[in-house]
Structure 1
Amino acid sequence: MQVELIPVTDFQQNCTLLVCEKTHEAVIIDPGGEPGRILAAVERLGAKPQRLLLTHGHLDHVGAAPELARRLELPILGPHRDDAFLLEALPEQAQMFGFPTHRAFTPDTWLEAGESIRFGEECLTVLHCPGHSPGHLVYFDRSGALAQVGDVLFRGAIGRTDLPRGNHEQLLRSIREVLLPLGDHVRFIPGHGPMSSLGAERRDNPFLASAH
């Protein structure tokens, strides 16, 4: 599977384009902004997007989803419905963080843990990892040992929990009980910053001392 990271917005949020190398079918995960840059990457790679996937409802992860859905005629899937309050509050989020005005929206489909997202010959498993936000999802490619973890885990850090309905203990529980059991060999794409592996974070991430 081809992986393309497209940092967007002033927050340098990792919009991720996952492309099946045999069929060129693709998914776009967390299109937080700058739809033109995302569309340029799609064209450059010859990708055929099938769905837009959202890990959670924060503006820097969802801001361009409605426009891309309209322009590419794609459905928006995710996050978990527990993040509905965040999508309803997008106008307030935009004002708070100095973004252009954004309208609230509802995805075409809320997702639940255990569901599968297929495109081409690839398959992503949906995992529910609350803590950074209550409806936060992770998308896991088991065959490729790759996870898109949004703002749950970063290289050397974990997601912040001081935003509405964040929960620090719940976040650590999600990392300990859902992410780390996937295996040390699993690489992950965080919502911001460079990729890492679960094994590297298990060993070296100072925030995970209590999550072993």
Structure 2
Amino acid sequence: MKYHIIPVTIFNQNCSLIWCDQTKDAALIDPGGDASRLCFEIDKFNVTITQILLTHGHFDHVGAVKKLARYYDVPIIGPHSDDKILLENLSEQCKIFGVPPVDSFLPDRWLVNGDIIIVGLEKYYVLHCPGHSPGHIVLWNKVHRFIHMGDVLFKGAIGRTDLPGGNLTLLLRSINEKLFSLEDDITFLPGHGPMSTIGNERCSTYSFK
């Protein structure tokens, strides 16, 4: 498993380029904006984009999706269908934050808990973790013990629940039942900010109860 983190937009959202080192098949996770910059970065790695993967439907994670899907002629996969209303109302989300509008779209495939995403020879297991948004999913590479987390859990913090679709009760349940049930040494990349591990956050001074 290889990955390259490309922070995009004024929100420094962690877009990830992931690829299989053997086949060079690659995917983009949460291309939230700055499409031209993303293309420039991708060109450095001599990989083939085969799909775009989405953890959830907030505008700062999907802003460049339509443009890049057309450019690379690849499918859009995820999130869970419970985020359909967010993807259908992206312009309204943008108004809340006073940023340029993003065109609405729907993915080519919705994801559900337990699905497996294949990138080359790599497997990513889907965990549906609602709370930050209803249809939020995370992508777990069991072999390399690595999770692309989106905005569920951060280093020293949890995802906000004051955005459209947020629900604190569901978020805490997702963290405690889906994530804190995993091993301590699993590293994760959140949607914003630095990486951490499940163990570090389980032992954090922040309360997740």
Asked if the contact 1:15–1:30 (Cα under 8 Å) also holds between the matched residues in 2, the reply is: yes
Matches within 5 A, 1:1-212: 1-208=1-208, 210=209
Assess if the C-alpha contact under 8 Å between 1:157 and 1:207 holds in 2. Answer: no
Deviation sequence 1:67-88 (CA, Å, 0-9, x none): 0000000100001000001011
Distance in 2 separating the partners of 1:117 and 1:205: 34
Pair 9,207 (structure 1): closer, same or farther in 2 beyond 3 Å = farther
What's the secondary structure of 2:101's corresponding residue? Answer: coil
Could you give the per-residue CA deviations for residues 175-209 of structure 1, whole angstroms, max 9, x where no partner exists? 1110112211100010000000000111125133x
Q: Secondary structure at the match of 2:207?
A: helix
Percent pairwise identity: 51
Give the drift of 1:134. Answer: 0.5
- For 2:180 and 2:66, locate their aligned partners in 1 and report how far apart those are by CA, in whole Å: 33
Deviation at 1:15, TM superposition (A): 0.3
Letter in 1 for 2:52: L
Whole-angstrom CA distance in 2 between matches of 1:142 and 1:93: 34
For residues 132 and 47 of structure 2, the distance between their equivalents in structure 1, rounded to whole angstroms, comes to 31
Q: What is the TM-score of this pair, normalised by structure 1?
A: 0.96
Three-state SS of the structure 2 residue aligned to 1:10 is: coil
Q: RMSD of the TM alignment (CA)?
A: 0.9
8 Å Cα contact 1:157/1:205 also seen in 2: no
So what's the TM-score if we normalise by structure 2? 0.97
SS of equivalent residue, structure 2 residue 83: helix
SS at match of 2:127: strand
What residue ranges of structure 1 are gaps of 5+ in the alignment?
none
Report if the CA contact (8 A) 1:58-1:86 is conserved. Answer: yes
Structure 2 CA distance for aligned equivalents of residues 72 and 104 of structure 1? 19
Structure 2 distance, partners of 1:205, 1:23, is 42
Give the structure with the larger helix fraction.
1
The ranges of structure 1 where at least 4 consecutive aligned residues each deviate by more than 4 angstroms after the TM superposition are none
Give how far 1:41 is off.
1.6
Q: Secondary structure at the match of 1:206?
A: coil
How much has 1:169 moved relative to structure 2? 1.4
Structure 2 stretches lacking a partner, 5+ long: none
In structure 2, give the amino acid aligned to 1:41: E
- Number of aligned residue pairs: give it: 209
Q: Distance in 1 between matches of 2:21 and 2:172?
A: 35
Structure 2 counterpart of 1:175, which letter? I
Give secondary structure in 1 for the equivalent of 2:192. Answer: coil
- Which amino acid in 1 is paired with 2:4? E
Instruction: Give the SS at the match of 2:14.
Output: strand
**Native 8 Å contact 1:141 1:147 kept in 2:** yes
Bigger CA drift: 141-150 or 89-98?
89-98
CA distance in 2, matches of 1:111, 1:90: 19
